[in-house]
């Protein structure tokens, strides 16, 4: 299934199977072989329902049936409207909630020579029940956290579970078959990225109920949509959707974690400088567990989204040595973000320096001495073009005159992250 079609379906399932103030929603139960059915009524109600109790093959006629129990939480009640040999009809007006349920019992006569129970009708009883589906997990507006160390959803993770309910109890007699579909979306920098849930046999779904979503299924955050399709006792029920689910980062890593991943003092200084405006020190996520951004720059080393997507998000464009990653991964995964930020400064900018610039020393104690490290820092902030244009004659004006480059030099020397 194409992602675009899948997204449309996720958004549409909540609308299916409801009829507000129009023709009643019909459901059929063929007795005695089938015992359960259900309706996809919104929790807020707003649909009229019709139940048709019909004969399975081998049943000669239906005998009288009656309502044994039903939902009495409101004034809208099921009632029989027709009882004939071939069909019993039960109706309920526009319901006030999605929890309407009913238990119906009756009797029938078999055709001659078919099965057992050709004697008294009392021996041939049937049950016809309208259960209601209750999606137990996940809940609308629920929030799941990604562990910043493992980059996986915290235990116990995402559990998808639906139950068939009669009264306030789950009924194990109703046989449910389910297909769960999950789709994560996140919009960053004006672009929406989609991550489908775990696959089963190549499909974006799982038939388990409950379905324990693998912890590794989602390593980026955003809004999760969950769709449920399936059947009760072999009869399909209208799809359900659970929306408003948020996946976010639990918290920023510690300074010790950042320092270990940054590795080099020059990269530690670069990250410290990038955090100086609005986020003093090292920080990758904001207070809402989202990747922090400033304009088009994101994360602890403030990598530019447009530059990344133009040059680095697919292999073959640059010198080898970086981690190929789409932007949503770059924005959310602080470890991948740092690896690639180091690559840009340490490998890419060095590789793009001119043949003359490559003859300069790697570092210099005197800021006025042209050197490749300060030049790479200058290029990291200003871009490859201005970096390649710098000469020994323009060094003081271009690189020494760059507050950004000189601040990074100062941080590398003073190491404020140790204070």
Q: Are residues 150 and 262 in the same domain?
A: no
Domain endpoint, select from 218, 249, 280:
249
Alpha carbon distance 41, 17 (integer Å): 7
At 126 the three-state DSSP class reads: strand
Alpha carbon distance 186, 372 (integer Å): 38
At 159 the three-state DSSP class reads: strand
Q: Are residues 149 and 291 in the same domain?
A: no
Higher pLDDT, 318 or 178: 178
Q: How far is CA 382 from CA 86, 375, 398, 401, in A?
A: 82, 10, 10, 12
Q: Are residues 269 and 366 in the same domain?
A: yes
Higher pLDDT, 131 or 357: 357
Poorest-pLDDT segment among 14-28, 130-144, 317-331: 14-28
164-220: per-residue pLDDT in tens? 988 888 888 888 889 999 999 999 989 999 998 877 655 556 788 899 998 888 999
Whether residue 398 is predicted with pLDDT greater than 70 in this model: the reply is yes
Q: Which of 131-145, 200-214, 347-361 has the highest mean pLDDT?
A: 347-361
Q: Are residues 119 and 168 in the same domain?
A: no
Domain count across the chain: 3
Domain endpoint, select from 249, 269, 287:
249
Alpha carbon distance 36, 359 (integer Å): 81
Query: What DSSP state is assigned to residue 341?
Result: H
Q: Are residues 287 and 396 in the same domain?
A: yes
Least Cα distance to 331 among 350, 306, 311 occurs for 306
- Size of the chain in residues: 419
Report pLDDT for 315. Answer: 63
Least Cα distance to 99 among 148, 32, 157, 166 occurs for 166
Q: Are residues 152 and 271 in the same domain?
A: no
Higher pLDDT, 316 or 93: 93
Angle between helical axes of 255-262 and 265-274 (0-180°, round to 10): 130
Q: Are residues 328 and 377 in the same domain?
A: yes
Q: Are residues 298 and 182 in the same domain?
A: no
Confidence of residue 392 (pLDDT cuts 50, 70, 90): very high
Report pLDDT for 276. Answer: 61
Instruction: Give the pLDDT mean for 62-91.
Output: 94
**What are the residues whose beta carbons fall under 8 Å from the beta carbon of 57, sequence distance 6 or more?**
none
Higher pLDDT, 208 or 283: 283
Q: Are residues 149 and 54 in the same domain?
A: no
Confidence of residue 297 (pLDDT cuts 50, 70, 90): very high
Report yes or no on whether pTM surpasses 0.95. Answer: no
CATH of the domain at 168: 2.60.40
Confidence of residue 7 (pLDDT cuts 50, 70, 90): very low
Is the distance from CB of 382 to CB of 403 less than 8 angstroms? no
Whether residue 289 is predicted with pLDDT greater than 90 in this model: the reply is yes
Whether residue 287 is predicted with pLDDT greater than 70 in this model: the reply is yes
CATH of the domain at 328: 1.10.530
250-270: per-residue pLDDT in tens? 999 999 999 999 999 999 999
Q: Are residues 170 and 309 in the same domain?
A: no
Its domain, for residue 139, covers 3-10+135-249
How high is the mean pLDDT of the chain?
86
Domain endpoint, select from 249, 277, 304:
249
Alpha carbon distance 135, 98 (integer Å): 12
Q: Are residues 160 and 291 in the same domain?
A: no
Report pLDDT for 319. Answer: 64
Query: What DSSP state is assigned to residue 139?
Result: P
Q: Are residues 42 and 190 in the same domain?
A: no
């Amino acid at each position: 299934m194409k992602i675009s079609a899948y997204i449309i379906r996720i958004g549409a399932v909540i609308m299916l199977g409801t009829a507000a103030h129009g023709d009643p929603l019909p459901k059929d139960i063929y007795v005695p072989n089938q015992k359960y059915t259900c309706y996809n009524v919104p929790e807020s109600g707003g649909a009229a329902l019709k139940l048709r109790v019909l004969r399975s093959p081998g049943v000669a006629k239906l005998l009288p049936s009656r309502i044994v129990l039903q939902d009495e939480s409101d004034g809208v009640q099921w009632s029989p409207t027709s009882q004939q040999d071939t069909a019993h009809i039960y109706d309920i007006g526009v319901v006030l909630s999605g929890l309407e349920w009913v238990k119906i019992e009756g009797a029938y006569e078999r055709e001659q020579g078919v099965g057992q129970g050709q004697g008294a009708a009392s021996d041939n009883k049937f049950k016809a029940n309208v259960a209601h589906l209750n999606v137990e997990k996940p809940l609308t507006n629920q929030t799941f956290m990604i562990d910043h160390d493992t980059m996986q959803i915290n235990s116990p993770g995402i559990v998808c579970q639906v139950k068939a309910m009669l009264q306030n109890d789950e009924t194990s007699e109703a046989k449910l078959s389910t297909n769960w579909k999950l789709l994560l979306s996140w919009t960053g920098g004006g672009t929406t990225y989609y991550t489908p849930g775990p696959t089963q046999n190549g499909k974006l779904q799982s038939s388990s109920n409950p379905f324990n979503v693998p912890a590794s299924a989602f390593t980026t955050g955003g809004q999760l949509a969950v769709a449920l399709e399936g059947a009760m006792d072999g009869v399909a029920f209208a799809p359900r959707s659970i929306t408003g689910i948020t996946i976010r980062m639990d918290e920023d890593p510690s300074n010790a974690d950042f320092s270990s991943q940054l590795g080099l003092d020059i990269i530690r200084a670069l990250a410290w400088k990038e955090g100086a405006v609005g986020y003093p020190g090292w920080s990758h996520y904001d207070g809402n567990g989202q990747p922090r951004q400033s304009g088009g720059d994101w994360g602890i080393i403030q990598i530019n989204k447009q530059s990344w997507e133009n040059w680095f998000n697919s292999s073959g464009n640059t010198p080898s040595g970086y981690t190929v990653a789409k932007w949503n991964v770059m924005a959310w995964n602080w470890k991948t973000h740092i690896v690639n930020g180091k690559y840009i400064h340490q490998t890419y900018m060095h590789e793009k320096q001119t043949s003359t610039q490559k003859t300069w020393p790697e570092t210099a104690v005197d800021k006025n001495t042209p050197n490749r490290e300060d030049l790479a820092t200058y290029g990291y902030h200003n871009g490859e073009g201005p970096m390649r244009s710098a000469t020994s004659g323009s060094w003081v004006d271009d690189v020494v005159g760059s507050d950004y480059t000189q601040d990074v030099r100062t941080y590398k020397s003073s190491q404020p992250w140790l204070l």
